A and B are shown apart, each in its own frame.
Chain A
Amino acid sequence: MSRPLEDILFGAPSPQAQTVTRVVSVIAAAVLLLLAAGIALRFHSAGQLDARFWEFFAWPTTWAFLARGLLGTLASSAMAAAIALVLGLVLLVGRLARLRLVRWPSIAVIEFLRGTPTLLLIYVCFLVLPSAGIKLSTYWMLTLPIGLSTAAVVAEVYRAGVLAVPRGQTDAARSLGLTEAQVFFLVVFPQALRYIVPALVAQLVIVVKDTTFGYVVTYGELMQNAKVLIANYHALVPVYLVVAALYCLVNYAISRASKRLGGPMH
């Protein structure tokens, strides 16, 4: 890989340009620090820096409670991801089928699940299904809709991977006498998976974000537990800040992992 573009752009500055850059840098730093100070002052004048808003973060019980929420988030995310990976494969096979009677319904299901907001699907499980006599636990009311809508996206990601596998692979496998199923599951799909691992991991970030809706169905994930903490301590700003930071950390870690997996493959 060559040098980043901005290094070429500003790679050989004249002495005069260097001075200008340095001065503007200092000014920018000063402005940003002022901004930070302004925010801190705002916290202070609103009384949000008072010890009573922060002291419970020194108690292990607070963190144990938040950790239990995070565990709930991860449990729901993991199950939703598992549903998505498996159902996504089923939808992909249907999508690629030669039989129109299989292919068209698969396309319809994919477009439907992909095109409706996850939150709407959650509301269906939460408000509509119970009136039809179907009662799910709060865990499934959250996890099932997320799994379903992610499955449709995953099916499209799979498809992109399958289309990226060179045709010669299919032809060669067929000429060796493999059945269509063997060609797909032994030759094409494993190679497709290697192309799309980064995209799949990136999708996991969206799954984790979607589990935030757990508070809608009162499933005990991080956001829901945060609401309980707030009800106990009336500390909206600190708790939401800490929870937002936790979400950012988890998702940032996943994003980084996906970028690393996206590195050289062969």
Chain B
Amino acid sequence: MGDVSRLLADYGPAFGQALFLTWKLTVVSFVPGFLLGVVVTVLRLLPLPPLRFVLTGYVEIFRNIPSVALLIFIVFALPDLNVVIDYEPSVVLTLTLVCSAFTADYLRSGINTIPGGQIEAALSLGLRPTRIISAVVLPQALRAVVQPMTSLLIALMLSTSLASQVPFPGRELTALVSKIANDSAAGMAAFAVAAAMYVATGLLIAWAGAALEKKVRILR
């Protein structure tokens, strides 16, 4: 315990900043990733074969590629193609792409829980297909995916640790631990503090997700 208190005396503000950066990276990749995932899901519903083909490829690629491999490609290989993206946007872009692919996949499963009779009913009421998607399909699909999206958000939060793989100006939790472990003998204490912060954040997200799920779930 003495190790931890000494560590917090030395690095307390640094841990606060690192935790904040971890949260920030999580939010700024989740929000656009989620929205992009919704757009991809809707576009895949449209009866446009070339678009469906390409977007299915998009989802499968970014669902199956390891995030680190994608990040390394964006940071180190893209400059060879004269596309230079700064480190922080690279991390956010990586996480956004991966998040959007998983969102699209989960939403598709959520859509599959909607009985076909509802669509037939909506069509016979004279609603146009685009209106059915926005008024009947999406609201129910979104309510059905709260649980997997909560898991995705937690996984995304843990994935922000890969920001430690690029020379980042700020340090998030994992990068801070690796720096402290390199500089001093307080590695174990630093790890304990960072792990507690990750676990607490994850439990917080899980709790919020469960509360939301309880509120919006559809019992069939």
Residues of chain A at the chain B interface (Cβ within 8 Å): 2-3, 5-6, 8-10, 13, 21, 24-25, 28-29, 32, 42-43, 45-46, 48, 111-112, 114-120, 123-124, 127-128, 131-132, 205, 208-210, 212-213, 216, 223, 236-237, 240-241, 243-244, 247-248, 251-252, 255
Give A88 to B68 CA distance when docked, in angstroms. 26
List of B residues within 8 angstroms of A8 by Cβ: 116, 119-120, 123
Give A31 to B103 CA distance when docked, in angstroms. 25
Does B17 interact with chain A (Cβ within 8 Å)? no
B51 touches A32 (CB 8 A): yes
B177 touches A123 (CB 8 A): yes
B49 touches A209 (CB 8 A): no
B48 touches A248 (CB 8 A): no
Centre residue among B54, B60, B181 by max chain A CB count within 10 A:
B181
A-B pairs with lowest CB-CB distance, top 9: A115-B199, A128-B187, A117-B161, A251-B64, A127-B181, A29-B50, A209-B66, A212-B66, A115-B202
B81 touches A6 (CB 8 A): no
Give A237 to B74 CA distance when docked, in angstroms. 10
Residues of chain B at the chain A interface (Cβ within 8 Å): 45-51, 54, 60-61, 63-70, 72-73, 76-77, 80-83, 111-112, 114, 116, 119-120, 123, 129, 132-133, 137, 154, 158-159, 161-162, 164-165, 173-174, 177-178, 181-182, 185, 187-188, 191, 194-195, 198-199, 202-203
Give A115 to B47 CA distance when docked, in angstroms. 41
Centre residue among A3, A9, A42, A251 by max chain B CB count within 10 A:
A9
List of A residues within 8 angstroms of B47 by Cβ: 6, 10, 13, 21, 25
Give A212 to B71 CA distance when docked, in angstroms. 12
Nearest Cβ distance between residue A144 and chain B, in whole angstroms?
Answer: 15
A119 touches B65 (CB 8 A): no
Nearest Cβ distance between residue A190 and chain B, in whole angstroms?
Answer: 26
